[in-house]
Chain A
Amino acid sequence: MKIHQSAVAGTFESSDLFVEVEPQPQFSLSVTSSATQFRDAVETQVRNILTKLHIENGQWRVTDSGALDCIIAARVETAALRGAELSALNWEEM
């Protein structure tokens, strides 16, 4: 999956995650979290999801407000699909 356009997903509300991605040839990721003790775990999960989606480009910025892992996955996947101009995941692979 390749990021072609700017995209956002999620909100800054409690229990949610906000994801922004800008197209660029290289890959970069920054993560902040309101629950600082979970920041590294959130980053690990985000990296795992992006790897699973075969994403190797884009400038990714993630702001966590205490989201559950299922919300983290959903918001990252949404931003990825929007950035790649795709409508749906391959549900079987996920």
Chain B
Amino acid sequence: MKLRRSMLFVPASNAAMVSNSFIYDTDSIMFDLEDSVALREKDSARLILFNALQHPLYQDKEVVVRVNSLDSAFGVDDVNAVVAAGVDVIRLAKTDSAQDVIDMEAVIEHAEQAYGRPVGSTKLLAAIESALGITNAKEIAFASKRLIGIALGAEDYVRNLKTNRSADGIELLFARCSIIQAARAAGIQCFDTVYSDANNEAGFIHEAELIKQLGFDGKSLINPRQIDILHNIYAPTLKEVDHAQAVIAAATEAEEKGLGVASLNGKMVDAPIIERARLTLERAVSGIREEL
């Protein structure tokens, strides 16, 4: 499963940001055609992405595009343009039900057939942003084989709850846990919402540590300064890396000897431990966290 700790939002209408965002060491770039693009620039932003996605600069980067709702005047054209351009993942905003995912899947499949893309090659990410969506999280998570994950969109969600975001995020706890439970049950990834105050580094760190501990695979970001901070929080310590390497070595040795079960320092090494060791080593690619 691909490492997706960081997904950096980039407004697709901003030529300079689209031209430069490939330089950031984020796991995925998430271009936005929805809320950050003014109505009169929807056509222009779509064409920027249609051309940028085919540019060599973006061939080695996973690109996610948040498209407009299929109910709007822009949604179907957005999907057609980005599928024709070879987008990796389409982010479906404001997902309230499994039917929303199924409807989007049908439009994507039609576009893949129309523009010569392999059917099934475009993946989906469903963002849940309402109480109804959270209530239907399990059905949403199981709605399509294209789904790489589900994500929380907190701003609309807290508005729907008739509350607001707080420093400790207590109002999001149920939604976060619901999304994690649904995603893990379906065997897909889960992603936390953005931290909107780009200048509050301490607040961002607090939230990132919380969502990592809850079990999220990663988080949407709105500022490139948040990338290294988030990757450092997800990075394992040297001790964890050493242990993970020992686990993999023990598992490999047991497999070569035809043993059903491996052991390390007298403890059984079974599939969940091996899987966790692999994830630890994947997360170490961007560095080792210093122990304080």
Contact = CB atoms under 8 A, between A and B. Distances in A.
Contacts of B43: 78, 81-82, 87-88
A15 B51 contact: no
A68 B115 contact: no
B158 interface: no
Interface string B74-110: 0001001100110000000000000000000000000
B44 A78 contact: yes
A71 interface: yes
Contact of A15 (B20, B55, B115): B20
B252 interface: no
B84 A92 contact: yes
Contact of B81 (A17, A70, A91): A91
Interface in A41-79: 67-71, 73-75, 77-78
B50 A94 contact: yes
A13 interface: yes
A30 B30 CA distance: 35
Given A78-B47, A81-B43, A87-B43, A71 B19 contact: yes
A91 B115 contact: yes
Q: Which of B16, B57, B77, B84 has the most CB of A within 10 A?
A: B16
A15 B81 contact: no
A74 B16 CA distance: 13
Contacts of B54: 70
Contacts of A68: 19, 55, 57
Contact of A71 (B48, B77, B114): B48
A91 B49 CA distance: 12
B52 interface: yes
B15 interface: yes
B15 to A, nearest CB: 4
B18 interface: yes
B116 interface: yes
A94 to B, nearest CB: 7
17 contacts: A13-B16, A16-B16, A17-B15, A68-B19, A70-B18, A70-B54, A71-B15, A71-B51, A73-B47, A73-B51, A74-B48, A74-B50, A81-B43, A82-B43, A88-B43, A91-B85, A92-B115
Given A67-B15, A87-B43, 7 more contacts: A70-B18, A74-B50, A78-B43, A87-B77, A89-B50, A91-B80, A92-B115
